């Protein structure tokens, strides 16, 4: 925040100096303080920027109590998606599965499309096997999507800290439990 204010003040100072350079008989580096203050952007505090009005540097936070001790993979009830094409939440325990690295991704053992039906797991969708830069389908998981926990998080029934009135509007009933993102990506483009 301080960096943003300093950047804005620097820009104002440069503009002010340039304006002064055009005045006859005045030095470009000697702008009077009153003129500088009249051109400076108003200072906005960090507390005024966000929704939270506490001083974030002295605030005491307490962790949210959430129960993440979920059943083993394949034994948990899943939550419906938060909105159409939302990444699904992980319904099972992730103990021993994280962290995910390029050399160790335990999720692939059950969620690869050729294995998932036999273990009753959600298969990795086609969007994860596509390079969107080249628009080409891949025969392997796209490198940009190897870290599952970047988008997918364990589900927990926790009271939200901030009230949320959002109600998802699904176009198709099956959107509550499946993603059709690969089909919807270019909707309206052609």
Q: What is the per-residue pLDDT across 142-169, written as a single tens digit (0 to 9) for each? A: 988 889 999 998 887 777 778 889 999 8
Higher pLDDT, 4 or 102: 102
Domain map of the chain by residue range?
2-49, 67-156
Note whether 155 and 78 are within 8 A (CB): yes
* Total residues belonging to the chain: 190
The model carries a pTM of: 0.60
Specify burial of residue 154 (Cβ count, 10 A radius: 0-12, 13-18, 19+).
Answer: buried
Note whether 51 and 163 are within 8 A (CB): no
Note whether 20 and 27 are within 8 A (CB): yes
The whole-angstrom separation of Cα 176 and Cα 133 is: 28
- Cβ neighbors of 113 (< 8 A, separation 6 or more) are 123, 124
| Per-residue pLDDT at 24 exceeds 50 | no
Identify the CATH class of 67-156.
mainly alpha
Using alpha carbons only, give the angle 126, 130, 133 rounded to the nearest 5 degrees: 150
Round the CA-based radius of gyration of the chain to a whole number and report it: 26
Burial code (b: 16+ CB inside 10 Å, e: under 16) for 67-93 equals eeebeebeeeeeeebeebbeebebbbb
φ, ψ of residue 154 to 5 degrees: the values are: -65, 140
| Per-residue pLDDT at 121 exceeds 80 | yes
Higher pLDDT, 99 or 160: 99
> Where are any strands of DSSP class E within 28-158?
130-131, 136-137
Looking at residue 61, what is its pLDDT?
Answer: 73
Q: Which stretch of DSSP H or E encloses residue 38?
A: helix 33-39
Looking at residue 27, what is its pLDDT?
Answer: 47
| Per-residue pLDDT at 112 exceeds 60 | yes
Q: Which stretch of DSSP H or E encloses residue 161?
A: none
Average pLDDT over residues 32-46: 69
């Amino acid at each position: 925040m301080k960096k943003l204010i300093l950047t804005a003040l620097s820009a104002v100072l440069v503009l002010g100096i340039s304006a002064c350079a055009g005045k006859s008989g005045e030095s470009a580096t000697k702008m009077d303080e009153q003129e500088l203050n009249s051109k400076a952007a108003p200072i906005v505090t960090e507390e005024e920027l966000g929704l939270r009005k506490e001083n974030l540097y002295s605030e005491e936070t307490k962790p949210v109590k959430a129960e993440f001790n979920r059943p083993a993979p394949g034994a948990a009830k899943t939550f419906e998606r938060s909105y159409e094409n939302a990444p699904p939440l992980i319904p099972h325990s992730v103990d021993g599965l994280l962290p995910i690295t390029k050399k160790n991704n335990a999720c692939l053992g059950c969620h690869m499309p050729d294995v998932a039906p036999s273990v009753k797991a959600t298969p990795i969708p086609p969007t994860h096997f596509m390079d969107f830069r080249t628009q080409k389908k891949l025969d392997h998981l796209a490198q940009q999507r190897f870290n599952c926990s970047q988008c997918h998080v364990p589900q927990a029934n926790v009271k939200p800290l901030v009230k949320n009135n959002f109600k998802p509007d699904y176009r198709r009933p099956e959107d509550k439990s499946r993603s059709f993102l690969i089909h919807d990506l270019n909707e309206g483009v052609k």
